Amino acid sequence: MASRSPISTRTWTRAPAVSGCRSGGPDCGLPHPGGGHSPCAVSSVLPRARLCFKTAMDTQTDTAPEPLKPAAGFVSPYWEDYAIGRQWTGGHEPLTEESIIAFGRLYDPQPFHVDPEAAKDSIFGRLVGSSSQTIALMTRMWTQMLMAHDHLLAGPGYDEIRFERATEPGDVLSLRVTLVDKRPQRSRADRGMLTFLVEVLRQDGETILSARAPMICARRPAA
């Protein structure tokens, strides 16, 4: 398989802090300092956080990677061409405090994802990245890695997802994908199933996340 170019480091701007609930705005569903849920102004802050996140993505020091093109002469493999044990590696996703906080504020606003000081009193004892962020980065790296494999049609989901350890600022994530199983698809003679072991690794080779990912793959047409 053709070698892949690393994904460049991104520059993020810091979103405004969101802590608790303030009065005066639409109902955000967050706990109100006086108890229960009450209309508040947090909803006026969250759009700015989303704008900050979008602006950061639009104004990176280097834009997101363009879709990878297969090497000259590359022929997308059919189900019959995949051999159990085949392995692919690639990806380069640096994590910073800013990127962890920006993602956490939008999608997983727990204290240990969004507040370095509060995170010191958490079970982790430090700021850590959201597992949802790890899954998102895994998906991007895998998509980039296997984009030229046109005969991989769809995936019904992930099985046996394991979060082995938390990510933190300074980590650089990469991906290792291993084909562990293949079988014909009973309902469709023109398709087969492939099962991949997908592992997100950090810079020291330790596994951050692992999952089994079944994929539907086209079979070679009859001659």
pLDDT of residue 133: 97
Asked, for residue 24, whether it belongs to a domain, the answer is no
Percent of the chain with pLDDT over 70: 67
Q: What's the rounded Cα separation, in Å, for the pair 3 and 1?
A: 6
pLDDT of residue 143: 86
Which of 178, 176, 179 is CA-nearest to residue 205? 176
Q: What's the rounded Cα separation, in Å, for the pair 193 and 196?
A: 10
Give the pair of three-digit tokens for residue 38.
Answer: 């009450």
Asked, for residue 184, whether it belongs to a domain, the answer is yes
Phi, psi values for residue 203, rounded to 5°: -60, -25
pTM of the full predicted structure? 0.68
Q: Which residue has the higher pLDDT, 51 or 212?
A: 212
Phi, psi values for residue 24, rounded to 5°: 110, -5
Whether residue 122 is predicted with pLDDT greater than 60 in this model: the reply is yes
Q: Which residue has the higher pLDDT, 37 or 194?
A: 194
Under the banding of pLDDT at 50, 70 and 90, the label for residue 76 is confident
Q: pLDDT for 154-187, tens place per residue?
A: 888 899 999 999 999 999 999 999 999 999 988 8
Q: How far is CA 104 from CA 17, 49, 50, 132, 141, in A?
A: 11, 11, 11, 9, 20
Kindly report the CATH number assigned to the domain that includes residue 119.
3.10.129.10
Asked, for residue 55, whether it belongs to a domain, the answer is yes
Asked, for residue 26, whether it belongs to a domain, the answer is no
Q: pLDDT for 5-48, tens place per residue?
A: 333 333 333 333 333 333 333 333 333 334 443 333 333 334 44
pLDDT of residue 216: 94
Residue type, 145: M
Q: Which domain range does residue 199 map to?
A: 33-64+77-218
Number of domains present in the structure of the chain: 1
Under the banding of pLDDT at 50, 70 and 90, the label for residue 125 is very high
The CB density around residue 200, as the number of other CB atoms within 10 Å, is: 25
Asked, for residue 14, whether it belongs to a domain, the answer is no
